[in-house]
């Protein structure tokens, strides 16, 4: 089972990203869950979302405390919280950042892989708005291989209708542009 924690801000689509990942996994015949963790937050407030993907039925129904993967939709969250808290040794951190991955790596102290892409730039360029959910989902798929990138097409069409093609283009561009750095404490 692969457990992922999504860090974002209200209105950025962290919950939508988790749901799209789960729907793509189900489309592949896997078992999946996606769920948010937030109270009465407002647009811009930090939010968490979670997903689990497995080859067998998932019986857990709790929040994810020790994720295999952490996805950060907004790099400003790096200044206010430790997004790597609980990240398993050998885990994967995927961050939206315009900072080069080698520079970004110096701020983290975990054992695993760091993946970074300037999802905000891609989203503004292709979607006309800095909403990075589908863009960062592309980076996540490249970093983890949880599901095949083509499995996200149908959930995207269902969720976004007329603007699905733009979202898919952003997803694929981030998939191609995300960069990796191994981190050893």
154-175: per-residue pLDDT in tens? Answer: 999 999 999 999 999 999 999 9
Residue 182 β-bridge partners: 113
Per-domain residue ranges for the chain?
2-183
DSSP string, the chain: -EEEEEEEETTS-HHHHHHHHHHHHHHTT-EEEEEEE-SS--TTSEEEEEEEEESS-----S--SS-SEEEES-GGGGGTS-TTTTPPTTEEEEEE-SS-HHHHHTT--SSEEEEEE-HHHHHHHHHSS---HHHHHHHHHHHH-SS-GGGGHHHHHHHHGGGHHHHHHHHHHHHHH-EEEEE--
pTM passes above 0.85 = yes
Residue 41 is predicted with a pLDDT of: 58
Superfamily of domain covering 2-183: Pyruvate-ferredoxin oxidoreductase, PFOR, domain III (3.40.920.10)
Residue 11 is predicted with a pLDDT of: 83
Residue 62 is predicted with a pLDDT of: 87
Provide the greatest CA pair distance for the chain. 45
Residue 45 is predicted with a pLDDT of: 81
Confidence of residue 40 (pLDDT cuts 50, 70, 90): low
Residue 59 is predicted with a pLDDT of: 93
Mean pLDDT of the chain: 94
Which range, of 24-28, 38-42, 136-140, averages the lowest pLDDT?
Answer: 38-42
Residue 185 is predicted with a pLDDT of: 74
- pLDDT-above-70 percentage for the chain: 97
């Amino acid at each position: 089972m692969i457990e992922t924690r999504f860090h974002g801000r209200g209105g950025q689509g962290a919950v939508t990203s988790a749901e799209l990942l789960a729907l793509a996994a189900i489309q592949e015949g896997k078992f999946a869950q996606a769920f948010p963790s937030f109270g009465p937050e407002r647009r811009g407030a930090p939010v968490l979302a979670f997903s689990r993907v497995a080859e067998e039925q998932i019986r857990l129904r709790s929040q994810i405390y020790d994720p295999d993967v952490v996805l950060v939709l907004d790099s400003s969250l790096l200044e206010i919280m430790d997004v790597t808290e609980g990240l398993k040794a050998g885990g994967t951190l995927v961050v939206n950042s315009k900072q080069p991955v080698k520079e970004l790596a110096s701020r983290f102290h975990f054992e695993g892989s760091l993946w970074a892409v300037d999802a905000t730039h891609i989203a503004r360029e292709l979607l006309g708005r800095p909403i990075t959910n589908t863009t960062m989902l592309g980076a996540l798929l490249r970093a983890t291989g949880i599901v095949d990138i083509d499995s996200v097409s149908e959930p995207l069409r269902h969720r976004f209708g007329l603007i699905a093609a733009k979202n898919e283009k952003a997803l694929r561009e981030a998939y191609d542009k995300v960069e990796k750095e191994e981190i050893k404490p």
